[in-house]
Amino acid sequence: MKKNLIFLGIETSCDETAASIVMGDKSGNAKILSNVVSSQIEIHKKFGGVVPNLASKAHSEMIDIVIKRAIKKSKISFKDIDGVATTSGPGLLVCLMVGMTAGKTISNFIKKPFYGINHLEGHALSAGISQKISYPYLLLLISGGHTQFLSINKFGDYKRIGTTIDDAVGEAFDKVAKMLGAEIPNGKIIEKMSSKGNSKKYNLPKPILYKSGCNLSFAGLKTAVMLQTKKIKDYKSKCDMAASFQETINQILKIKTAKAMEIFLGLHPILKHKNFVVAGGVASNKSIRNNLLKLSKSKGFNIIFPPVKLCTDNAAMIAWAGIKNHQNGKRSNINIESTARWPLDPKAPFMKGPGLKL
Ligand code: KG4
Ligand code: ZN
């Protein structure tokens, strides 16, 4: 195997069109040569959420521009690429298909292997781009579509130990931002408003806090914010609500992470390094980072966050997952199809919907 591998990564699973060139060596070192992300926030903001057909159209319009830009910035040419990695799920099918078509076409053209990548695996391995992390590690994945605790035992062996039973934490942030009148429904706004608010003003519920292991629930919290927000008119109180919501999320994550650490140590009783990785868009929130940092210190865990630009959706993490697939002997497969649902732990039970036993 060549010493250094150069992979093109492509990501179009939701509302970000992204391409990146990443170089990786055999010892696990990575270098991002380019990381281009084109956001569709402006397109979707008037609808209050991502509109799949518009997202797909915007991906189609931007994909070749974004790929060309990534190649140019990296100062390599197509002939230097050793493989093409593209998100093939989970995500919006009409969006995934745009990236998949582009990735497969390039792979065919340059005659280099194609890897369809699980977006969640991209997030799960993303912290390893900036620093080497030994397996196993505990992962908290907090994004717009997913909220899960996983034991990352080794590459390709992922055991889910807890999950949300309703909304993802990022989704709750987005919805609360919308309720509080934010023009762009995004967690970043809540973080900003929180810095101006009193986190003790509103008392909000923390569903299943001491129930169901490290499974989580945010639907009841979101509804409580909705009901109490109806009575709020002034901006200061809205900031107080944002701060109270963020504080409640912090309290939930603190208790649930402590539980997840206990379960993780039960799975791996003899551990040299107790590593805890927090990844996904919500991991860019400073207050959440500080909260989990404090907890980790008290529990003897070494906490690792990917840099902020690798927390939110990007293609560097997809290129890196492609390199890892290649290095670990996973077969390249040009016939892989886009898939809306693709759990990282296929053995974990589906945990949403009525009749759920907690
Ligand atoms: O990982 P990501 O970019 O996309 C998914 O795979 O879902 O995560 C996006 C989510 C959104 O829900 C967004 O509101 C949330 O991450 N997010 C934040 C912050 N920045 C992004 N949530 C809270 N605080 C932030 N600073
Ligand atoms: Zn994501």
Top mutation candidate among 120, 173, 174, 222 for ligand 1, by most atoms within 8 Å of CB: 173
* pLDDT score recorded for residue 352: 75
Distance CA 183, CA 45 (A): 7
Residue with the smallest CA separation from ligand 1 atom 10 is 144
Residues in contact with ligand 1 by the CB-under-6-Å rule are: 143-145, 170-171, 173-174, 186-188, 191, 280-282, 284-285, 312-313
Distance CA 188, CA 202 (A): 20
Higher pLDDT, 108 or 49: 108
Tens of pLDDT, residue by residue over 145-186, are: 999 999 999 999 999 999 999 999 999 999 999 999 998 889
Distance CA 167, CA 347 (A): 21
* pLDDT score recorded for residue 357: 67
Averaged pLDDT for residues 265-290: 97
Q: Which CATH number does the domain 135-305 belong to among 3.30.420.40, 3.30.450.40, 3.40.50.1820, 3.30.830.10?
A: 3.30.420.40
* pLDDT score recorded for residue 353: 65
Distance CA 210, CA 253 (A): 12
* pLDDT score recorded for residue 147: 98
Long-range contacts, stretch 345-353, CB < 8 angstroms, 24+ apart: 345/150, 345/158, 345/159, 345/160, 347/159, 348/159, 348/160, 348/163, 351/163, 351/164, 351/165, 351/215, 352/165, 352/166
Tens of pLDDT, residue by residue over 204-258, are: 999 999 999 999 999 999 999 999 999 999 999 999 999 999 999 999 999 999 9
Residue with the smallest CA separation from ligand 1 atom 21 is 281
Q: How far is the CA of 47 from the centre of ligand 1 (A)?
A: 18
Q: How far is the CA of 123 from the centre of ligand 2 (A)?
A: 7
Averaged pLDDT for residues 336-346: 96
Top mutation candidate among 17, 96, 121, 188 for ligand 1, by most atoms within 8 Å of CB: 188
Distance CA 13, CA 98 (A): 9
Tens of pLDDT, residue by residue over 11-51, are: 999 999 999 999 999 899 999 999 999 999 888 888 878 89
| Superfamily holding 4-128+309-327 | ATPase, nucleotide binding domain (3.30.420.40)
* pLDDT score recorded for residue 117: 98
* pLDDT score recorded for residue 278: 98
* pLDDT score recorded for residue 1: 57
Q: Does residue 325 contact residue 14 with C-beta atoms inside 8 Å?
A: no
* pLDDT score recorded for residue 282: 98
Residue 355 pLDDT more than 70? no
Q: How far is the CA of 234 from the centre of ligand 2 (A)?
A: 34
* pLDDT score recorded for residue 41: 86
Higher pLDDT, 138 or 353: 138
What's the mean per-residue pLDDT of the chain? 95
Q: How far is the CA of 176 from the centre of ligand 1 (A)?
A: 13
Distance CA 115, CA 113 (A): 7
Q: How far is the CA of 232 from the centre of ligand 2 (A)?
A: 32
Give the whole-number percent of the chain exceeding pLDDT 70.
98
Q: Do domains 4-128+309-327 and 135-305 have the same CATH topology?
A: yes
Long-range contacts, stretch 285-291, CB < 8 angstroms, 24+ apart: 285/187, 285/191, 285/246, 286/191, 287/191, 287/194, 287/246, 287/250, 288/142, 288/246, 288/249, 288/250, 288/253, 291/250, 291/253, 291/254
Tens of pLDDT, residue by residue over 119-131, are: 999 999 999 999 9
Domain boundaries, the chain: 4-128+309-327, 135-305
